[in-house]
Amino acid sequence: MSSAMNSDLDNMALALWEDFQHPDVGWQAVALVACIVVGKLVERLVRGYGGVVPAPWREGGLRRMTFPLTTTVLVFVARYVLRGSHPVNLLSIAIPLLLSLAGIRAVFFALRQVFAQTRWLASFERIFSLLTWTVVAMHILGLLPGVIDFLESVNFTVGRQNLSLWLLLQGLATVVVALLTAFWCGGVVERRLLRAEDMDGNLRVVFTRLAKALLVLVAILVSLPLVGIDLTTLSVFGGALGVGLGFGLQKIASNYVSGFIILLDRSIRLGNMIEVDSNRGQVTRITTRYTVLRGSGGVESLVPNEVLVSSVVLNESYTDRRVRVALPVQVAYGTDLDQALVLLEAAARNQPRVLSEPSPAALVVSFADSGINLEVGFWIHDPETGTGRLKSEINLAIWRTFKAAGIQMPFPQREVRILSGTP
């Protein structure tokens, strides 16, 4: 029994089978179930009294790590107590499974700090957990060396290098780990840059994306040679990718380059009210492929960055947030124009959003068929709020003041004369 207890994991399946032939094997099952129950109770206790720790650690880290770590410690204690008089190989098998569960939860806790809003992380965690437990189970049952030998026996040649399925799987696993590490480091850099309030918002976005891109590139360049894959074998794929970018992905590449140009030259910033083509709205997001404009009606327009670089963009808050708004008004001939101009300026000046400097100004624009065209111009400093309601309030004030002053607003009229002559 002592040799079975000290056996390697490769012989654990055989030792476990011998344990099941022992009449006292039930004590192992009872001890394991008791450890699991106590681990769950401790987990609930941490969940209920975890207010002393930060919420991310309480909800995503400490609570999820409590069960496997606590249960592992209890299983160690139970194995130490029973090993003198009972078989304990079932408990020995439970220890690596619980440690692998703790490792999986630790890895995905770190990932959740970077990908907090992603939906695919939960599915990826289930797949990753299944693969990890499968590998651990094959290792315990002694099947893993045979599977590795089979994967190494499947060989093929790419360029001048001989590859195998096992080497490709190693490379894939290494690249995935390196990429996740790069994303995690990129998230740390992003959080630090977001706290740099003295830096321009566009520059923070640029540095964040450049840092993530460089980290991903370094992760790939470092991880593949570690498993013995020569990077020169990827030259064929790099050439094909270049051809694809030259033809099918030309627009996409142009949008990405334009996105970095916009972020670097800071011609368009978050919060700017801009108009390009027929799209007008406030810039709420700038990605590497498109820019989001939120209109006054709540509709969001996704404008490709290439359009913003190659077209004329009307930016209402590029260097100065003050914008002039003009309202046309027509009065009848015979109106006291001096009085009308004063009333127009007063109607605009009484609105709280209208700036006092420059002050509102009313002008005589032209003499039309039915009346005299006037215009009142005023300045505002918040164009992103919109001007629809403001124009309505000023027009209503003009209507009331003109009505009280007896000033008429003409409407189109036609005079028809019938000429009658003698036969």
Q: Would you tell me which CATH number, out of the four given (3.90.226, 1.10.10, 1.10.287, 3.30.1150), belongs to the domain 156-248? A: 1.10.287
Q: What is the mean pLDDT of the chain?
A: 77
Question: What pLDDT is attached to residue 198?
Answer: 66
pLDDT at 138 over 90: no
Q: Which residue has the tokens 């012989």?
A: 11
Q: Could you name the CATH architecture of 323-405?
A: 2-Layer Sandwich (3.30)
pLDDT tens readout for residues 151-178: 888 777 765 667 778 877 887 788 777 8
For the chain, the domains span: 2-142, 156-248, 252-315, 323-405
pLDDT at 343 over 90: yes
Which two structure tokens, joined as six digits, stand for 371? 């009346």
Show the CA angle centred on residue 341, arms to residues 339 and 343, nearest 5°.
70
User: 165-194 and 144-153 are packed helices; what angle lies between their axes, rounded to 10 degrees?
Assistant: 100
Greatest alpha-carbon span in the chain = 140
Question: What pLDDT is attached to residue 23?
Answer: 63
Q: What is the CATH number of domain 252-315?
A: 2.30.30.60
Region of poorest pLDDT, from 5-14, 298-307, 353-362? 5-14
pLDDT tens readout for residues 2-39: 333 334 444 555 666 566 666 666 777 788 888 888 88
393 band by pLDDT with thresholds 50, 70 and 90: very high
Question: What pLDDT is attached to residue 178?
Answer: 80
- Using a 10 angstrom Cβ sphere, with 0-12 exposed, 13-18 middle and 19 or more buried, the burial of residue 389 is exposed
Query: What does DSSP assign to residue 60?
Result: I
- Ramachandran angles phi, psi of 269, nearest 5°: -125, 165
Q: Which residue has better confidence, 144 or 290?
A: 290
Question: What pLDDT is attached to residue 221?
Answer: 76
